[in-house]
Amino acid sequence: MRYAVLGTGVVGRTIAAKLASLGHEVAIGTRDPKTTLARTGPDGMGNPPFSVWQQEHPRVRLEAFADAGAFGDTVLNTTAGLASLDALGAVGAENLDGKVLIDIANPLDFSQGMPPSLDPVNTDSLGERIQRAFPGARVVKTLNTMTTSVMVEPSRVSGEHNVFLSGDDEDAKKAVAALLISFGWPQPSIIDLGDITTARGAEMMLPVWLRLMAALGRTDFNFHIQGA
């Protein structure tokens, strides 16, 4: 299976590495590959530059958004939520039509500082906006309610816990559920919330998650800002 992972931040890297470890062909999409590879300093979270990461994961190719989208049979959006529509626009509707589009992003708005708010929220969601903007894509919202490492290694959290699916296309949700199972999620832990409007609830879990992190004084939640 060929996957396009949009975004070069820690979420995109983690998902891409997991997919490659499972034997899939993977391309990471970015706005400008030359610029991405030219960065030499750590990102805002202290992660090494992408060029260092890619040396450790030579099977994962780096492409411009459109080329990555054309390459992938399935597309995963891990870009910053407020930039996701622009990034997907750069991929192009023709490269998304008919494909499962897994949206992992959250529409975090940092314009008023920390903690961030959500935009949109309550009566709309990023997942819905993506589905409206790209009606030919089969959008499924998932994995956005947890820290990055748990997405691909759910056993890091002891006991029973859940991952959610939201989307209008039942076959697409089945395909995404199968992918989650390959990541290590037990079938009973995968909860189908319903159509894409249920992504509103999943996205609104993020403000609670961030405030819980602050209340517990934790610094090991691996809080991330997705990169493009």
What pLDDT shows up at residue 228? 45
Matching residue, tokens 């992992």:
104
Task: Give me the pLDDT at residue 220, please.
Answer: 47
Whole-number Å distance between alpha carbons of 106 and 121: 10
Residue 221 has a pLDDT of 42
CA–CA distances in Å: residue 152 to residues 64, 67, 87, 144, 185: 25, 25, 23, 12, 8
CA-to-CA dists, residue 12 to 34, 90, 160, 203, angstroms:
18, 17, 25, 18
Residue 57 gets which letter from DSSP?
-
Q: Strand order in 190-194's β-sheet?
A: 60-64, 25-30, 2-6, 74-77, 100-103, 138-141, 163-167, 190-194
Question: How much is the pTM?
Answer: 0.94
pLDDT, residue 218, reads 66
CB 103 within 8 A of CB 91: no
- pLDDT of 219 reads 52
Over its length of 228 residues, how does the chain's per-residue pLDDT go in tens digits? 999 999 999 999 999 999 999 999 999 999 999 999 999 988 777 889 999 999 999 999 999 999 999 999 999 999 999 999 999 999 999 999 999 999 999 999 989 988 889 999 999 999 999 999 999 999 999 999 999 999 999 999 999 999 999 999 999 999 999 999 999 999 999 999 999 999 999 999 999 988 888 888 865 444 443 444
pLDDT digits (tens, 9 = 90+) for 27-73: 999 999 999 999 998 877 788 999 999 999 999 999 999 999 999 99
Distance CA 75, CA 182 (A): 17
Q: What are phi and psi of 119, to 5 degrees?
A: -150, 105
d(CA 131, CA 198): 13
Helix axes 84-91, 126-133, angle to 10 degrees: 30
